[in-house]
């Protein structure tokens, strides 16, 4: 199985489970999403309409979009033998879609190097809510021996492609050699769901050979609409760092319990692909993770008094054979430490079916990468944590006017980086989780051969002014809070905890002037208000001549204060800052129980009256009435220093100019160029 990807920019070399070989796609006619392509004929193939027409004509369906010809099989390497396309009823007696339900053990790899796809199918089979989306109307699609006349030789499957569920119709003619299926097949000779699912996925990618080498997590995303995360087990030092290992197990256990899906692999050089290690594992080979749990040790009576649990992980080899031979392998002596009740509860079997358990520390020692598909709950009707989801489609485009350019490359290109799309969002809680997924259209699958590799993509998150409305033009005036990996995979993922504030995400390609389409998804506890920034500065309109137009732009960064006066009976204060400018104000968060608060807040103002000062006030938050603690008056002119300053607080009103206890530390930048920050 070819299972490596192109070189990563972070110096990882190759990654098992991904393939640099070209792959194929559906035809190129717009499908209603930016850049997404699908053939007009395929779009017009409606399952119910086609099935009804077959009934009326009393014939079995033959798909004109995926005919039984060589181009549906391969574009370079033909299968090793004479291929005959046969319907399930010609391959065996009593064919069925499912035999005794669907199981992760059903599907075995055929002559293609698509262990990644088979591993993904094994994961899918464990998730009823997901496979019923991928295989819609599954009961209606099953053979009905009581009504054979209802069978029309037509099936359909759904895949999530670049933000939309796409229905793919196929006929039931499958490639065989000497009467046996060439590609995916079930261990039950008369079960065909896996072979038909593979055919639909091959049609989506133009031919079967396009599936030779790929990425399991991409198929998992196509099966679920989830978000993909790659975990480099070597870089994370999970084998040698017990604390990191415990954190990873906790994370994967949560993913598994929340119906996410996981695959893993061991990196391999070009000469090591499919090399079998002495321990029984195979290099350059994608495994599906079928369980993550802590297993209780000891016999039942012993376990009643002292519970000892060991973190374990269960996997399946897509070949349906060749298993791990080390500790906790099938029939190993370690299982004597586990009571019969516990063995029964985890469904322990001892047979060469390709599925096996490993201790989690051994898994971290041998495997080099894991791919996780997070299935995110966005429905209030479902149990568990609910996320708010916002999705935007965008493009990296080139424009002759630099300020209108949207393909500026990564932060290595400081002069052009901000010439990328920018998305503003708000975190409204004191501290909140955020999940960010940047996905491009896959250039390696669902594409004709030789039509390019995936772009190397990533993103940066910056903390910006609380009242920003326009695009950012100077990164030095902002705080970079997170930078993703830049990689040539279909998607890039980040999980982060951010404090309350306003932020901008800047998605980009690694190098400037590389064009493409993308989809960015942001998940938060409450609505983040994610929106694209399109304007560079305030617009000139018909009222500007009467109401005035901004002449300067000023950014104020309040770092903190020191030595404030006690306000509470307990001897403390709950201070916050308010910045006033030309009738507008911006307020910081309240800092609890401190006389030396750190505000770290920014505000930006487009000023029509540059001679009018800006006032910064410090207040103490109270339940009944807030108390004034002091202020500073700033000229904020273009001539003023942009250095950080520490200024004594003063009183206001009749006592204006009198000093009050404490100082405030701030930085003010003013420019007559409205697109300077």
Same-domain status, 252 and 199:
no
Residue 34 pLDDT class (50, 70, 90 cuts): very low
From 182, 212, 242, give the residue that closes a domain. 212
- Between residues 48 and 26, which one has the greater pLDDT? 48
Compute the half-sphere exposure of residue 277: CA atoms within 13 Å on the CB side of its CA. Answer: 17
pLDDT at 43: 54
Q: Is 115 a catalytic residue?
A: yes
Which CATH number fits the domain that encloses residue 509? 2.60.120.380
Same-domain status, 348 and 399:
no
Which CATH number fits the domain that encloses residue 619? 2.60.40.150
Same-domain status, 476 and 606:
no
Structural domain total, the chain: 4
pLDDT at 343: 82
Establish if 21 belongs to a structural domain: no
Same-domain status, 172 and 151:
yes
Establish if 262 belongs to a structural domain: yes
Q: Is the pLDDT of residue 625 over 70?
A: yes
Task: Please pick, among 114, 317, 420, 620, the residue that the annotation labels catalytic.
Answer: 317
Which CATH number fits the domain that encloses residue 273? 3.90.70.10
Phi first, then psi, for residue 351 (nearest 5°) are: -160, 155
- Between residues 105 and 218, which one has the greater pLDDT? 218
Same-domain status, 415 and 506:
yes
How far apart, in whole angstroms, are the C-alpha atoms of residue 2 and residue 21?
8
Same-domain status, 307 and 199:
no
pLDDT at 462: 97
Around Cβ 186, how many Cβ atoms within 10 Å?
A: 22
Closest C-alpha to 253, from 311, 316, 335, 297: 311
Same-domain status, 303 and 395:
no
pLDDT at 448: 54
Establish if 151 belongs to a structural domain: yes
Q: Is the pLDDT of residue 143 over 50?
A: yes
How far apart, in whole angstroms, are the C-alpha atoms of residue 478 and residue 358?
47
From 323, 351, 374, give the residue that closes a domain. 374
Q: Is 285 a catalytic residue?
A: yes
Q: Is the pLDDT of residue 9 over 90?
A: no
pLDDT at 3: 40
Q: Is the pLDDT of residue 37 over 90?
A: no
Residue 302 pLDDT class (50, 70, 90 cuts): low
Same-domain status, 420 and 459:
yes
Average pLDDT, the chain: 87
Q: Is 259 a catalytic residue?
A: no
Same-domain status, 517 and 654:
no
pLDDT tens digits for 497-556? 999 999 999 999 999 999 999 999 999 999 999 999 999 999 988 787 788 899 999 999
Q: Give the SS3 label for residue 578.
A: strand
Task: Please pick, among 115, 184, 410, 581, the residue that the annotation labels catalytic.
Answer: 115
Integer-rounded Cα Rg, in Å, for the chain is 30
Q: Which domain holds residue 619?
A: 544-671
Q: Is the pLDDT of residue 109 over 80?
A: yes
| Owner of token pair 């973190």 | 311
Closest C-alpha to 425, from 479, 464, 473, 385: 464
Establish if 512 belongs to a structural domain: yes
| Owner of token pair 């504030």 | 501
Establish if 522 belongs to a structural domain: yes
Same-domain status, 109 and 78:
yes
Same-domain status, 368 and 419:
no
User: Which residues are CB-contacts of 247 (< 8 A; sequence separation ≥ 6)?
Assistant: none
User: Which residues are CB-contacts of 192 (< 8 A; sequence separation ≥ 6)?
Assistant: 88, 95, 96, 97, 172, 174, 186
How far apart, in whole angstroms, are the C-alpha atoms of residue 275 and residue 70?
31
Residue 215 pLDDT class (50, 70, 90 cuts): confident
Q: Is the pLDDT of residue 585 over 80?
A: yes
Q: Is the pLDDT of residue 173 over 90?
A: yes
Residue 7 pLDDT class (50, 70, 90 cuts): very low
- Between residues 602 and 337, which one has the greater pLDDT? 602
Task: Please pick, among 185, 285, 374, 446, the residue that the annotation labels catalytic.
Answer: 285
From 212, 237, 266, give the residue that closes a domain. 212
Q: Is the pLDDT of residue 14 over 70?
A: no
pLDDT at 38: 40
In the 3-class helix/strand/coil scheme, how is 436-495 assigned residue by residue?
EEEEECCCCCCCCCCCCCCCCEEEEEEEECCCCCCCCCCHHHCEEEEECCCECCCEEEEE
Same-domain status, 155 and 234:
no
Angle between helices 115-125 and 193-204 (to 10 degrees): 120
Which secondary structure element, helix H or strand E, spans residue 141, and what is its range? Answer: helix 138-141
393: DSSP letter: E
Q: Is the pLDDT of residue 460 over 50?
A: yes
pLDDT above 90 covers a percentage of the chain that reads 66
């Amino acid at each position: 199985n070819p299972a490596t990807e192109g070189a990563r920019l972070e110096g990882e070399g190759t990654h098992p489970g991904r393939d640099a070989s070209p792959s194929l796609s559906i035809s190129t006619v717009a499908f209603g999403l930016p850049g997404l392509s699908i053939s007009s004929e395929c779009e017009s193939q409606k399952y119910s309409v086609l099935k009804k027409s077959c009934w009326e004509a009393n014939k079995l369906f033959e798909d004109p979009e995926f005919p039984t010809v060589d181009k549906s099989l391969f574009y370079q390497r033909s299968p090793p033998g004479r291929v005959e396309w046969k319907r399930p009823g010609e391959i065996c007696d009593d064919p069925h879609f499912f035999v005794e339900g669907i199981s992760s053990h059903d599907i075995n790899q055929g002559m293609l190097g698509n262990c990644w796809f088979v591993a993904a199918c094994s994961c899918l089979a464990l998730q009823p809510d997901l496979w019923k989306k991928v295989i819609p109307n599954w009961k209606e699609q099953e053979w009905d021996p009581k009504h054979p006349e209802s069978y029309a030789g037509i099936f359909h499957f759904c895949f999530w492609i670049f933000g939309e569920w796409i229905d793919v119709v196929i006929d039931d003619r499958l490639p065989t050699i000497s009467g046996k299926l060439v590609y995916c097949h079930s261990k039950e000779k008369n079960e065909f769901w896996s072979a038909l699912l593979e055919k639909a996925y091959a049609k989506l990618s133009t031919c079967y050979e396009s599936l030779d080498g790929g990425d399991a997590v991409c198929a998992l995303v196509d099966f679920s609409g989830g978000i993909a995360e790659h975990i480099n087990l070597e870089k994370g030092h999970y084998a040698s760092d017990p604390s990191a290992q415990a954190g990873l197990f906790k994370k994967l256990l949560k993913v598994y319990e929340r119906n996410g899906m996981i695959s893993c692999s061991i990196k391999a050089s070009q000469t090591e692909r499919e090399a079998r290690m002495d321990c029984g594992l195979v290099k350059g080979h994608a495994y599906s993770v079928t369980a993550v749990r802590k297993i209780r040790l000891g016999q039942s009576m012993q376990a009643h008094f002292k519970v000892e649990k060991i973190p374990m992980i269960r996997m399946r080899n897509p070949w349906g054979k060749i298993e791990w031979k080390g500790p906790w392998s099938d029939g190993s002596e370690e299982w004597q430490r586990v009571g019969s009740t516990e063995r029964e509860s985890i469904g322990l079997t001892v047979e060469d079916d390709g599925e096996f358990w490993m201790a989690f520390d051994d898994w971290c020692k041998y495997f080099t990468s894991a791919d996780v598909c997070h299935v995110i709950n966005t429905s209030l009707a479902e149990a568990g944590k609910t996320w708010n989801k916002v999705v935007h489609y965008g493009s990296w485009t080139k424009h002759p006017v630099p300020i209108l350019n949207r393909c500026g490359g990564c932060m290595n290109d400081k002069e052009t980086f901000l010439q990328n799309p920018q998305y503003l969002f708000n975190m409204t809680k004191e501290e909140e989780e955020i999940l960010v997924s940047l996905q491009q259209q896959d250039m390696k699958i669902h594409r004709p051969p030789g039509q390019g590799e995936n772009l190397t993509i990533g993103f940066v998150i910056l903390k910006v002014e609380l009242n920003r409305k326009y695009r950012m033009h100077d990164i030095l005036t902002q705080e970079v809070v997170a930078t993703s990996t830049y990689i040539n995979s279909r998607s890039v993922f980040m999980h982060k905890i951010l404090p309350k504030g306003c932020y901008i995400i800047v998605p980009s390609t690694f190098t400037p002037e590389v064009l493409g389409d993308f989809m960015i998804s942001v998940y938060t506890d409450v609505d983040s208000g994610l929106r694209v920034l399109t304007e560079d500065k305030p617009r000139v309109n018909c009222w500007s001549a009467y109401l005035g137009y901004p002449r300067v732009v000023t950014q104020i960064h309040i770092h903190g204060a020191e030595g404030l006066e006690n306000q509470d009976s307990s001897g403390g204060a709950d201070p916050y800052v308010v910045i006033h400018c030309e009738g507008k104000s911006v307020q910081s968060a309240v800092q609890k129980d401190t006389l030396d608060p750190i505000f770290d807040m920014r505000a930006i103002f487009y000023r029509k009256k540059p001679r009018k000062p800006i006032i910064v006030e410090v207040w103490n938050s109270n339940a009944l009435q807030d108390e004034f603690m002091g202020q500073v008056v700033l000229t904020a002119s273009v001539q003023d220093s942009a250095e950080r300053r520490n200024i004594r607080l003063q009183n206001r009103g009749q006592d204006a100019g009198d000093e009050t206890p404490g100082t405030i530390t701030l930085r003010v930048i003013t420019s007559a160029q409205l697109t300077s920050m």
